[in-house]
Amino acid sequence: MHGELTDDPATFLTSAADFLAADPVVNNVLVTNVTGRAAGVIIDPAPATYLTVRTDDDERGADERGDGGGAGGEVAAVAMRTPPQRVWLSAESGPAAELAAKLLAGACPDAAGVVGTHPYVADFVRTWEHLTGATAVPEMAERLHALDAVTPPAAAVPGEARPATTADRDTLLAWCLAFEADAADAAGRPVNALTEVERHRVTEAVDLRLAERRSWVWDHDGAVSHLGVTTPVHGVVRIGPVYTPRDRRGRGYASALVAAVSRHELAAGARTCALFTDLANPTSNKIYAAVGYRPVRDVTAYRFEPAAR
């Protein structure tokens, strides 16, 4: 096997196109993020790193230099790291995940962690720990779900779904920051530890979704729940974040909003809607299953703790 490293999202998209399109649900996070960067819609504060791992047509060309030393071959893993985020990994074999870890440990040794699909993210983590001396701490176990037909909620929920507007911006920004705080709390991190770069990232995401009309609210005498949705790529849209303030929870707002937006996206031409759930939150897993979402793949997020010096 050999790896091809680049900081150019367009080059990566060309190199990994067939792999990404072969499983557009599992690879949706990668493909939407890279597509946005290739189009210039998303600008990173520092150069990103993209990796394609291929099998070798000729084993004499195999190397671990990260410069594409072996020609051709099938893609066996892809990865993306956009500072200051974690590595995002999609691998189809243990050896491919191991090689990805070796190359990325050299290319971006300061990566904060990795998010990867099961089962091969474990191979990446073991290799990273061995090479760097860091400890990989599991922070969140998630499940990717997909839907191609909506099951209407069993009970009527007061209110209706509507596209968010700029008048909702301050509310949505506060809610998205609260969503990040909830995620930090679930992972055992300080809830007030968002850096200025991370706050800027959240603000940019809120503004971009509003500009592209990809932000929705459930309105019951005002906005009571919110979600975002990605643009379709390979016929797939991904829903998230989904957030309801604590004092509005337990009333079916989020479930009704997810059902309404999923139905809207399918009617608009998407083949599949996808979303992630926290496996430690049985409520969200239950309500999305009731809407029609089915499990696809498990994903684990790890935090890297550097070796003591």
pLDDT in tens, 128-170: 999 999 999 999 999 999 999 999 888 899 999 999 999 999 9
Tokens (6 digits) for 274: 């996808």
Give pLDDT, residue 193: 64
Confidence of residue 60 (pLDDT cuts 50, 70, 90): very low
Is residue 122 a contact partner of residue 111, using CB atoms and an 8 Å limit? no
Q: The domain 160-296 is classified under which CATH number: 3.20.20.70, 3.40.630.30, 3.40.640.10, 3.30.465.10? A: 3.40.630.30
pLDDT in tens, 231-263: 999 999 999 999 999 999 999 999 999 999 999
Confidence of residue 42 (pLDDT cuts 50, 70, 90): confident
Tokens (6 digits) for 62: 């195999």
CA-to-CA distance for 79 and 225, rounded, in angstroms?
33
In 98-184 the beta strands, taken as DSSP E runs, fall at 113-117, 135-147, 160-163
Per-residue burial over 25-38, b = 16 or more CB atoms within 10 Å of its CB, e = otherwise? bbbbbbbbbbbbbb
CA-to-CA distance for 28 and 54, rounded, in angstroms?
20
Specify the length of the chain in residues.
Answer: 309
The more confidently predicted of residues 106 and 201 is 106
Confidence of residue 63 (pLDDT cuts 50, 70, 90): very low
pLDDT in tens, 176-213: 999 988 887 766 666 566 677 788 889 999 999 999 99
Is residue 237 a contact partner of residue 227, using CB atoms and an 8 Å limit? no
Q: Give me the half-sphere count of Cα atoms (radius 13 Å) on the Cβ side of residue 125.
A: 21
Q: Which residues neighbour 253 within 8 Å (Cβ) at sequence distance 6 or greater?
A: 157, 159, 218, 220, 224, 225, 244
Give pLDDT, residue 84: 84
Q: Per-domain residue ranges for the chain?
A: 2-133, 160-296
Confidence of residue 69 (pLDDT cuts 50, 70, 90): very low
Tell me which of 25-29, 39-43, 101-105, 138-142 is least confident.
39-43
pLDDT beyond 90 at 65: no
- DSSP states of 28-70: HHHHHHHHHHHTTSS--SS--EEEEEE--SSGGG--SSSB--S
pLDDT in tens, 107-137: 999 999 999 999 999 999 999 999 999 999 9
Q: What pTM value is reported for the model?
A: 0.90
Give pLDDT, residue 101: 99
